[in-house]
Amino acid sequence: MIKRLCIIGVGLIGGSLARALRAAGQVREIVGAGRSAENLQQAVALGVIDRYETDFARAVEGADMVLAAVPLGAMEGVFAAIADHLADGAVVTDAGSAKGSVIASAQRVFGAAADFFVPGHPIAGTERSGVTASFAELYQGRRVILTPLPETAATAIARVRAMWEAAGARVVEMEPVHHDEVLAATSHLPHVLAFTLVESLARLQDKREIFEYAAGGFRDFTRIASSDPVMWRDICLANSTVIQAMIERFIGDLQALDRAVEARDGERLLQIFGDAKAARDRFVEK
């Protein structure tokens, strides 16, 4: 049971966690924090949080669990605002998609020996954002990756693990560097491709006709291009080296496909498409 949970950033991720923990009866009080009082008032009206503060220092007072669910570029500012106001025994965790930058920010603010900080990342979400998009079932059966450091206290890890498991998630642990490599390939690159495709087509002269006749495949492939641009800007900046390597690798593969099309090499095209179909079918079945 979490006595007082403070969620800084009550959007899809933070709001869904609040709803899930409340539904499971695993939290007594939820305090929301953010820059927008209007969004926080809406969160209260929806029953997602009990009360709110726009002052982060006041928001974390008395909280035994604090979740920072803000864009990566805002993480360090949040940590700086709450560092001197955390309750004794409080645990701080986050929901950032690139762990290297979050850990660096936490160490600059909290110090290298901050055993109460548990870096985390829920592998869940939709293309929608904001508290109105949140729902209690978001984490059911989904993975949450924790990337604790050598100095992270085992009790803090256990408490964060228990919180996410109460929300229905499957919790695993991973090295931060490996996390950023895996997510660059499986999440960051797909979002970059979707954003780029839509932006590219939107600049075509006959773009109205293109979008008018776009079929289900276009809608499915580009769904994630409706995600929060600020969040994805920050992710690209925070994990730039690994993302750039994945983009360069993909460009090489795309150029190989282009050569096959140019050469009318049907066998090579069939091999590429067949291998891709088999790989995705295995993923879906698993």
Domain boundary among 121, 148, 174: 174
Q: Report the predicted TM-score, pTM, of the whole model to 2 decimal places.
A: 0.90
Q: Which of 42-46, 159-163, 200-204 has the lowest average pLDDT?
A: 200-204
- The DSSP symbol for 98 reads -
Asked if 249 contacts 184 with a C-beta cutoff of 8 angstroms, the reply is no
Whether residue 228 is predicted with pLDDT greater than 80 in this model: the reply is yes
> Regarding beta strands 120-122 and 143-146, do their DSSP bridges make them parallel or antiparallel, or are they unpaired?
antiparallel
Residues 44 and 133 in one domain: yes
Residue 33's identity, in one-letter code, is A
Give the percent of the chain with pLDDT over 90. 89
Cβ–Cβ < 8 Å for 99, 119 = yes
Q: What is the mean pLDDT of the chain?
A: 95
| Average pLDDT over every residue of 35-42 | 94
Q: Which of 147, 174, 201 finishes a domain? A: 174
Q: Looking at the predicted structure, is the pLDDT value of residue 23 above 80? A: yes
For residue 94, the enclosing domain spans: 2-174
Instruction: Please give the span between the terminal C-alpha atoms of the chain, in angstroms, as a whole number.
Output: 33
117-133 per-position pLDDT tens digit: 999 999 998 888 899 99
pLDDT class for 278, splitting at 50, 70, 90?
very high
Of the candidates 174, 203, 237, which is a domain's last residue?
174
> In the sheet where 143-146 sits, what is the strand order?
120-122, 143-146, 170-173
Same domain (yes/no): 38, 12: yes
Helix axes 240-262, 266-285, angle to 10 degrees: 140
Digit-coded pLDDT (tens) for 170-223 = 999 999 999 999 999 999 999 999 999 999 998 887 777 778 887 888 889 999
DSSP one-letter code for 115: T
Phi/psi region, residue 62 (left: phi>0; alpha: psi -120 to 50; beta: rest), is left
The answer on 26 and 158 residing in a single domain is yes
Q: Which helix (H) or strand (E) holds 114?
A: none
State the total domains in the chain: 2
Burial level of 266, CB count in 10 A (0-12/13-18/19+)?
A: exposed
Residues 86 and 207 reside in one and the same domain: no
pLDDT at 29 over 90: yes
